[in-house]
Chains A and B, each alone.
Chain A
C-alpha cells in the first residue's frame, strides 16, 4: 500500500533551535512529495514541493529515495512557524487521475 508516515504527532522546539519534521513514504513508483501547512485558524496550504527544490520561509526538504524520506528542515525556528505540518505523496490512480495522500500531520510548537 502506498502511504505516508509522520512519526511525531507533536514536536516542541525553542525559538532559534533547528527543526526537523520527519516524513517517510512507501511508493512503488517515482515519488512526488509535498509539504502542506495549516496555521491556526487558516486553511491548509502548500508550503513546498520536492520537484521545485525551493526554500520557503526558510524551510527546505530533500527527497532521499534510499531512505524513502522527505524530511522538512529549518535551521532556526521562529514563533510564527508554529502550525500543523502535513507531508503528502502524489499518487497516480489510473486513467490520468492523480490524488494526494496525506500523513497524519505533526504539530510544531515553537517555544519563545
Chain B
C-alpha cells in the first residue's frame, strides 16, 4: 500500500484479555518501530525491528508485551493479560533505512482496556 497500515483502528477489551495489534509497513521499508502514546503525552518508544530481528526492545514496559516480524514485513504487537494502564494509542512507523531519520507513521490502533 501507499502508507503504513495498522489494524484494528480501535480495540476495546476487558482486563486480563490478550490483544494483538498489526502493522503493515510501506513496502521495502526495512526498519519498523512501535510507539505508544498516552493522552497528553508524546509517542513513547517500545521496540525497533531491522528486518526480522528486534534490534532494540528496550522500550517494552514488561514481559506482557511482545512483538514479532517473522518475514521482515508485517509486524504484530502482542499484549498479554491486559491492564487498564495499557489503554493508549499504539503507533507503528517504518523507515526505508535504519537510523530513524524519516519515520512514516500509521494512523494508530487505539486500545481501550475496561
Q: Mark A residues whose CB is within 8 Å of B.
A: 4, 6, 9, 43-46, 49, 86, 88, 90, 93-105
In the bound assembly, the distance between CA atoms of A103 and B44 in angstroms comes to: 9
Nearest first, the 10 closest Cβ-Cβ pairs linking A and B are A102-B42, A98-B100, A97-B56, A44-B105, A97-B55, A99-B45, A104-B42, A102-B43, A93-B56, A43-B105
Q: Mark B residues whose CB is within 8 Å of A.
A: 3, 33, 35, 40-45, 48, 50, 55-56, 58-59, 91, 93, 98-108
Residues of B within 8 A of A45 (CB): 104-105
Nearest chain A residue, comparing its CB with the CB of B40: A104
Q: State which of B44, B98, B108 has its C-beta within 8 Å of the C-beta of A96.
A: B98
Residues of B within 8 A of A94 (CB): 56
In the bound assembly, the distance between CA atoms of A107 and B65 in angstroms comes to: 30
Residues of B within 8 A of A43 (CB): 3, 105-108
Interface majority SS (helix, strand, loop, mixed), chain B: loop
Q: State which of B33, B91, B108 has its C-beta within 8 Å of the C-beta of A99.
A: B33
In the bound assembly, the distance between CA atoms of A44 and B100 in angstroms comes to: 15
In the bound assembly, the distance between CA atoms of A9 and B39 in angstroms comes to: 12
In the bound assembly, the distance between CA atoms of A98 and B58 in angstroms comes to: 11
User: What's the minimum C-beta distance from B13 to chain A, rounded to whole angstroms?
Assistant: 24
Residues of A within 8 A of B35 (CB): 102
In the bound assembly, the distance between CA atoms of A53 and B33 in angstroms comes to: 25
Q: State which of B55, B100, B102 has its C-beta within 8 Å of the C-beta of A95.
A: B55
In the bound assembly, the distance between CA atoms of A108 and B45 in angstroms comes to: 24
Contact (Cβ within 8 A) B44 A93 = no
User: What's the minimum C-beta distance from B90 to chain A, rounded to whole angstroms?
Assistant: 13
Contact (Cβ within 8 A) B105 A98 = no
In the bound assembly, the distance between CA atoms of A16 and B51 in angstroms comes to: 46
Residues of B within 8 A of A101 (CB): 45
In the bound assembly, the distance between CA atoms of A30 and B9 in angstroms comes to: 37
